[in-house]
């Protein structure tokens, strides 16, 4: 082979031509994950730059949505897989429901909630039915439960995109992803603690440490009326101090006023009575049971008596996970609670239920802030450099992939120098090199591409996979 056999490969190649801004392994220099923005971008493995001629694309992602490109999308997939694995270990089966449902399914989220009144992507389809893109998955899962009547307890996990017509900003999108669980058919406080622990432990697995669990009980349908009355009286007494929006909300659902983030409402909310003081014997006992198991599991929480959450179906246990690493407005990285009346509201049998959903996009932002759960440095383990025409790359690639080793290669019979450049950019720790000399001798060069100490050895075709595996462990 013509290329010098010295080991210091990276120092021998030129750096890529300056192209600013550009995306390398799909992380755009302008910070805009997922939006190509008409800028040149590297392909996975960085094999070549897309045409620079396209300066202004005709179409862009709709407002509030993002393209999540390879690299970041692989990171998201890894998160979802880790969540699915944790849920499976806790006895939850995977459930998939349609991305759109009859609008009526989501109306049950509450006539006074923004999600229903302002944020629904609804449409009348060609069949004349009124549908909505799902803004969350709990209602869909409960609809599926009512439709299929599975054995209880029914424990399921899910993942996927949700759609809310919100005002977009960092951490708040019109299409975003959630992972979550729902458990229907039991109100044992043990399951409340189980789902909370599942979410808590998942954050820990990712390496997130700046997470606070806020916990509350919203009472049930027997003790809540007395609380609502006390709350209504309090807000009526302070009516003129409330924002216009909260004055309106008060007429529809006084509890929702507690969820207001508007400045004028805050002092009135701070002075409002709290639900925990109104819990009857049974709900108080249930809440104590949940806390006892959480204490036993050593899961730290803060009792937040004004936590009501943004959806109307909650009864008894409610909770939210807040990342203190994220800025205030969008720092909720997950939340959930009991919805013991939802199955009956959707026409099914009286069935208690509890669950949570975690915001995948926000969790990844929190991971960025904390410097944990980073994108894998490379999607491939081995980069094949073939300067004999490309057939060897095809053959060796197939062999390595069959042995479970992720590989990539260059195309278009490029020069060795060009191929090494791409190999370096791919981040692969190993290169397999075939030149004319190797082809004649029936050997292959194996080179390490990362680290201080670079190794370069000649191996036979029969020992290649073993030698590669040895260096990857």
Report, in Å, the least distance between residue 290 CB and ligand HAM.
Answer: 15
Minimum CB distance to ligand HAM smaller for 27 or for 172: 172
Minimum CB distance to ligand HAM smaller for 272 or for 342: 342
Please state, in angstroms and rounded to a whole number, the distance separating the CA atoms of residues 102 and 122.
Answer: 9
Report, in Å, the least distance between residue 332 CB and ligand HAM.
Answer: 4
155 close to 181: Cβ distance less than 8 angstroms: yes
The one segment of 13-21, 178-186, 226-234, 367-375 that binds ligand HAM by CB under 6 A? 178-186
The one segment of 23-31, 86-94, 238-246, 336-344 that binds ligand HAM by CB under 6 A? 336-344
The one segment of 236-244, 352-360, 433-441, 448-456 that binds ligand HAM by CB under 6 A? 352-360
Please state, in angstroms and rounded to a whole number, the distance separating the CA atoms of residues 431 and 423.
Answer: 7
Strands 100-102 and 122-124: unpaired
Q: Which of 185, 189, 254, 355 binds ligand HAM (CB under 6 A)?
A: 355
Judged by CB under 6 A, does residue 178 bind ligand HAM?
Answer: yes
Judged by CB under 6 A, does residue 156 bind ligand HAM?
Answer: no
Q: Which of 46, 335, 352, 427 binds ligand HAM (CB under 6 A)?
A: 335
Minimum CB distance to ligand HAM smaller for 67 or for 166: 166
Judged by CB under 6 A, does residue 72 bind ligand HAM?
Answer: no
Judged by CB under 6 A, does residue 138 bind ligand HAM?
Answer: yes
Site for ligand HAM in 362-381 (CB under 6 A): 362
Judged by CB under 6 A, does residue 110 bind ligand HAM?
Answer: no
Judged by CB under 6 A, does residue 33 bind ligand HAM?
Answer: no
Minimum CB distance to ligand HAM smaller for 46 or for 355: 355
Please state, in angstroms and rounded to a whole number, the distance separating the CA atoms of residues 203 and 320.
Answer: 13
Q: Which of 72, 361, 370, 381 binds ligand HAM (CB under 6 A)?
A: 361
Residue 414: C-alpha distances to residues 124, 383, 386, 398 (Å): 53, 14, 9, 20
Site for ligand HAM in 255-314 (CB under 6 A): 310-311
Residue at token pair 């998942």: 202
- In the bound state, the residue with its beta carbon closest to ligand HAM is 359
Interface contacts to ligand HAM, rule CB under 6 A? 136-138, 164, 166, 172-173, 176, 178, 180, 182, 310-311, 332-337, 339, 355-357, 359, 361-362
């Amino acid at each position: 082979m013509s290329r010098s056999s010295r080991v210091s490969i990276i120092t021998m190649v030129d750096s890529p031509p300056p192209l600013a801004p550009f995306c390398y392994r799909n992380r755009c220099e302008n910070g805009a994950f997922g939006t190509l923005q008409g800028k040149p971008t590297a392909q996975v493995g960085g094999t070549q730059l897309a045409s620079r001629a396209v300066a202004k694309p005709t179409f862009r992602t709709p407002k509030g949505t993002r393209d999540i490109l390879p690299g970041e999308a692989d990171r998201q997939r890894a998160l979802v897989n880790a969540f699915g694995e944790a849920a499976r270990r806790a006895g939850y089966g995977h459930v998939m429901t349609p991305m759109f449902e009859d609008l009526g399914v989501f109306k049950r989220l509450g006539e006074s909630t923004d999600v229903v009144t302002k944020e629904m992507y609804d449409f009348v389809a060609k069949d004349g039915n009124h549908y909505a893109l799902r803004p969350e998955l709990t209602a869909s899962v409960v609809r599926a439960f009512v439709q299929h009547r599975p054995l209880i307890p029914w424990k399921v996990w899910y993942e996927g995109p949700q759609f809310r017509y919100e005002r977009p900003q960092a951490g708040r999108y019109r299409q975003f992803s959630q992972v979550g669980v729902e458990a229907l058919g039991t109100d044992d406080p043990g399951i409340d603690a189980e789902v909370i622990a599942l979410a808590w432990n998942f954050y820990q697995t990712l390496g997130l440490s700046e997470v606070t669990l806020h916990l509350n009980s919203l009472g049930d349908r027997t003790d809540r009326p007395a609380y609502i009355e006390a709350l209504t009286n309090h807000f009526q007494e302070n009516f003129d101090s409330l924002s216009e929006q909260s004055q309106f909300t008060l007429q529809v659902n006084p509890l929702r006023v507690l969820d207001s983030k508007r400045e004028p409402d805050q002092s009135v909310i701070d002075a409002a009575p709290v639900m925990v003081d109104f819990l009857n014997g049974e709900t108080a006992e249930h809440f104590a049971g949940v806390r006892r198991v959480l204490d036993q599991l050593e899961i730290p929480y803060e009792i937040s008596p004004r936590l009501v959450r943004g959806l109307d179906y909650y009864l008894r246990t409610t909770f939210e996970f807040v990342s203190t690493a994220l800025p205030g407005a969008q720092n909720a990285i997950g939340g959930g609670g009991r919805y013991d009346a939802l199955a009956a509201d959707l026409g099914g049998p009286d069935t208690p239920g509890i669950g949570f959903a975690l915001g995948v996009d926000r969790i990844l932002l929190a991971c960025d802030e904390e410097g944990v759960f980073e994108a894998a440095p490379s999607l491939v383990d081995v980069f094949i450099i073939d300067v004999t025409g490309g057939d060897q790359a095809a053959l060796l690639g197939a062999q390595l992939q069959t042995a479970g080793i992720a590989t990539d290669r260059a195309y278009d019979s490029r020069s060795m120098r060009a191929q090494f450049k791409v190999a370096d950019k791919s981040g692969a720790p190993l290169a397999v090199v075939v030149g004319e000399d190797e082809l004649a001798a029936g050997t292959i060069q194996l080179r390490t591409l990362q680290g201080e100490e670079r190794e370069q050895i000649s191996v036979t075709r029969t020992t290649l996979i073993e030698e590669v595996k040895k260096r990857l462990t």
